[in-house]
Amino acid sequence: MITTQPSCNDIYETGLIPVKDALARILAAVPAIEGHERLAIEHARGRTLYEPVISTLNVPAHTNAAVDGYALHADDLPDRGTRRLDIIGQAFAGRPYDGSTGRGQCIRIMTGAPMPEGLDTVVMQEQVQLSDHFIELDSRHQAGQNVRQAGEDIRRGQTVLEPGKYLTPPDIGLCASLGIAEISVRRKLKIAIASTGNEVFGIGQTPGAGGIYDSNRYSLLAALDRPDIEIINLGILEDDPDSLLNSFEEAGAYADVIISSGGVSAGEADYTKTALQASGQVNFWKVALKPGRPLAFGRIGKAAFFGLPGNPVAVMVTFYQFVLPALEKMLGINNKPIVPIFLAKTSENLRKKPGRTEIYRGIIEQNEKGEWTVKTTGKQGSGILRSMSLANAFIILDHDSADIKAGEWVTVQPFSGLF
């Protein structure tokens, strides 16, 4: 009888870590980086706020009209029937009315214009009868309507953005509206990226027998092309334990994170694993995940280390399920737009055995009933990178689920919230 070794086809392999447990252990091990810088707000989108943004003024700065219409005394609103009011002036945004206003009088006012002294109500222009120099209004109106009070949106001294906020275009606009030109953001995360494997060739080279082009590094470079990350491209590293360890240790002296792909499985030529075992700082895990079973995580020098699988789809799956959440914790992000995960109805049967999480590449769309539906992109091998290119979502089948029949609901994670 032949004695076999554990492989990626095994469901109940000893030592497999559930996905949620592996992620929890990673997040527990990566603290937020220290350091910050001052940036002009026009360059701060996509960065993490380091210090609170506090307003030095009221917004609105003055009590003003919320609509185009007529400003008047609330006491002049009729209880029943109609009432005529004389128009004695005009008020515009940036050109207020300076005079006084008596009972039975009103001011033509535009949206955003300061309310003239003593007036407290605005009637929309569409809700009056205009004749020459007076208006006629009825009893449908209420005191104080259509008026924005000074400080109604933001008060002087109020904290409007908290540290840890992932800065979006509205946040930048908010800072500008307060006259704030610069803010403090957490420094960029320095990430070194490498590919390994004698079979891997760079673009522009001619692959030898059995050789492949290096797609993993380019996928990761694109995934990490964001304002809060500084990329250090290590290229394709020599497939030798000593050389790999030296390269990783050099990178670990200045990078916050090292991400490599390949060489972390159980093969005799998986030199990344051999090199990192010599460092004594890296835990090798077998995660209950398909694709993406082999995963290395630990520390090299001062850098957190992620050793991702070699297959291109497995690289993308493990990056988005494990690495990206860790990077965002290191960046100190605690307030970011939600990455949606929801249910969709599958249009085909999906094979699944309990005991590991399986992630398919899928295409989600809405049917005529408005329901979200999903189908796979076809063949789902971990080496078929086109399955990622065709997809617009992950289909996530959880650890304990079994075969899924067409028409059943499954969990989907749209790429629009990740990429």
Using CB atoms within 10 Å of the CB of residue 373, give its burial: 0 to 12 exposed, 13 to 18 middle, 19+ buried: middle
Share of the chain above pLDDT 90, in %: 77
pLDDT of res. 266: 58
Q: What is the mean pLDDT of the chain?
A: 91
Q: Would you say residue 160 has pLDDT above 50? A: yes
- CATH for the stretch 39-59+153-186: 3.90.105.10
Domain layout of the chain by residue ranges: 16-35+188-330, 39-59+153-186, 64-148, 342-417
Judge whether 407 and 345 are in contact, CB under 8 Å: yes
Q: Which residues contact 209 (CB under 8 A, 6 or more apart)?
A: none
pLDDT of res. 272: 77
Q: Which amino acid is at 348?
A: E
- Of the listed ranges 9-18, 174-183, 319-328, 351-360, the one predicted with least confidence: 9-18
Q: What would the mean pLDDT of 149-173 be, rounded to a whole number?
A: 96
Q: What is the pLDDT of residues 44-67, one digit of tens each?
A: 999 999 999 999 999 999 999 999
Q: Which residues contact 151 (CB under 8 A, 6 or more apart)?
A: 58, 59, 60
Q: Would you say residue 71 has pLDDT above 60? A: yes
User: Which option is the CATH number for 342-417: 2.40.340.10, 3.40.50.2300, 3.90.25.10, 3.40.190.10?
Assistant: 2.40.340.10
**Torsion sign over Cα 398, 383, 15, 326:** negative
Q: What would the mean pLDDT of 36-42 be, rounded to a whole number?
A: 97
Q: Would you say residue 410 has pLDDT above 60? A: yes
pLDDT of res. 339: 85
Q: Would you say residue 4 has pLDDT above 50? A: no
pLDDT of res. 26: 95
Q: Which candidate, 29, 10, 13, places its Cα nearest to that of 21?
A: 29
pLDDT of res. 5: 46
Q: What is the pLDDT of residues 202-250, one digit of tens each?
A: 888 888 887 889 999 999 999 999 999 999 999 999 888 888 889 999 9
**Longest alpha-carbon distance in the chain:** 105
DSSP string, 188-233: PEEEEEEEE-TTEE-TTS---TT-EE--HHHHHHHHT-STTEEEEE
User: Which option is the CATH number for 16-35+188-330: 1.10.10.10, 1.10.1060.10, 3.40.980.10, 3.20.20.70?
Assistant: 3.40.980.10
Q: What would the mean pLDDT of 87-115 be, rounded to a whole number?
A: 95
pTM of the model: 0.87
Measured CA to CA, the distance from residue 10 to residue 7 in angstroms comes to 6
Where are the extended beta strands (E) located within 16-73?
A: 16-17, 36-40, 53-54, 64-65, 69-72
Instruction: Encode 42-62: b = buried (16+ Cβ within 10 Å), e = exposed.
Output: eebeebbbbeebebeebbbee
- CATH for the stretch 64-148: 2.170.190.11
The token pair that represents 110 in the structure block = 């535009």
- Dihedral, CA atoms, 113, 114, 117, 118, nearest 10 degrees? 80
pLDDT of res. 175: 96
Q: Which residues contact 126 (CB under 8 A, 6 or more apart)?
A: none
- Of the listed ranges 101-105, 110-114, 265-269, the one predicted with least confidence: 265-269
Q: Would you say residue 365 has pLDDT above 90? A: yes
Q: Would you say residue 378 has pLDDT above 80? A: yes
- Dihedral, CA atoms, 203, 207, 211, 216, nearest 10 degrees? 0
Measured CA to CA, the distance from residue 375 to residue 361 in angstroms comes to 8
